Amino acid sequence: MLTKLGKTDLSIYPLGFGGIPIQRISFEKAKTVILKAKELGINFIDTAQGYSDSEEKIGFAINEDKNYWVLASKSPARDSKEMEKAVTNCLKHFRRDFIDLYQLHLISSIDELQLVLGKNGAMETLLKYKEKGYIKYIGITGHKPQVLKEALDIFPFDTVQAPYNPLETQSEELLKYASLKGVGTIIMKPFAGGALTSPSGCIKYILSKDFVDVVIPGMERVEQVEENFRASLDLKITEEEKMGILQDIHQLKNNFCRRCDYCQPCPQGIKISTVFILHGYLSRYGLKDWATSRYQSLPIPANKCTNCGVCERKCPYELPIRQMLQKSHNDFQK
């Protein structure tokens, strides 16, 4: 059962393939997992420039039937030259002469979007490559629903990608708005970065929403592909799945960052939500080297927290942010 991605002419299965986890498996294992997805009818793959060798592994896996797939990637490049490098490398890695969807990665403010859309901004490259046929459609991704919603009124993006799951529902208004505008909706973080322990329940919850076009759980094992696919066939949530979701939400509600960034700015300059995102990749995804290198590249590490408590007074979820920052830093030092 294929569906259209927004107003595009891309026909996709509603369960897609997220390309983050295949960083930690071999090229041959990645091919086995991706071909299992193809065998079941999954045809949409989403990855990113920043996911180390994910693009290359995808290109290797699909090479024998590359036109079966609808391929999406993304880059945090903000200027035209850096975006040109990203798209050129993506074409080479995918081993194709076009990319179905290329997205601006993690737009976090309207000022950032205006930079991308301005003179010598990344959008110049995307539009040029689209005109030449190297890119079919242009999308946007991020964690801030209000920013993304406003972005859809500033530029005619073809798709929007945001986190959405039973724990993180803050993007629901954005996704409904996008769907009404004919913008394709792509759901990332369906398991809240691995925090939710009922994958099948989450898949059913998400795909039961009429404003969702496709969900892209990260997968690195054949068993994960099969389990997620089974969930996509019957969206009725079982009592066991429902109880698992409710139990997770109860346990996580006071100890899980939703990346709303109400805690910002930190007086010390710590990028609080970024620290917690990277810690999730370390502790739940098992991407130790990838997450650690990105944490170490942050201008201000989490241990620079002075315990002023400003962030906690502003957090709508009353999270123990200071404790969470210290734990994150300590775990990255192990």
DSSP secondary structure of 139-161? EEE-S-HHHHHHHHHHS--SEEE
> In whole angstroms, what is the distance from residue 67 CA to residue 22 CA?
21
CATH class of the domain defined by 3-244: alpha beta
Residue 334 binned pLDDT confidence (cut-offs 50, 70, 90): confident
User: How far apart are alpha carbons 165 and 200 in whole angstroms?
Assistant: 12
* Residue 1, pLDDT above cutoff 90: no
Give the chain's mean pLDDT.
Answer: 96
Percentage, residues of the chain above pLDDT 70: 100
Place of tokens 């724990």: 167
Looking at residue 77, what is its pLDDT? 98
Q: pLDDT tens for residues 69-83? A: 999 999 999 999 999
Give mean pLDDT, residues 27-33. 98
Question: 176: which residues sit within 8 A by CB, 6+ positions away?
Answer: 211
Which contacts (CB < 8 Å, 24+ apart) does range 309-314 have? 310/263, 310/266, 310/267, 311/263, 311/264, 311/266, 311/272, 312/263, 314/262, 314/263
Give me the pLDDT at residue 253, please: 81
What pLDDT does residue 317 have?
A: 87
> Averaged over 278-303, what is the pLDDT?
92
Residue 260 above 90 pLDDT? no
Half-sphere exposure of 94 (CA within 13 A, CB side): 30
On the question of pLDDT at 38 being above 90, the answer is yes
pTM of the full predicted structure? Answer: 0.93
Question: Any idea which residue has 């107003």 for tokens?
Answer: 7
Q: How far is CA 146 from the centre of its chain?
A: 17
Q: Which residue has the higher pLDDT, 254 or 330?
A: 330
Q: Where are the domain boundaries for CATH 3.20.20.100 in the chain?
A: 3-244
- Outline where 239-309 has alpha helix (H): 239-252, 272-283, 288-296
pLDDT (0 to 100) of residue 284: 86
Task: Report the percent of the chain where pLDDT is more than 90.
Answer: 93
Half-sphere exposure of 79 (CA within 13 A, CB side): 3
282, amino acid identity: L
Decide: helix, strand or coil at residue 281.
Answer: helix
- Flag whether pLDDT at 223 surpasses 90: yes
On the question of pLDDT at 170 being above 90, the answer is yes
- Nearest in space to 193 (alpha carbons), one of 262, 287, 296: 287
| SS3 of residue 334 by DSSP | coil
Number of H helices, E strands in the chain: 14, 10
Residue 183 binned pLDDT confidence (cut-offs 50, 70, 90): very high
Tell me the mean pLDDT in the region 18-36: 97
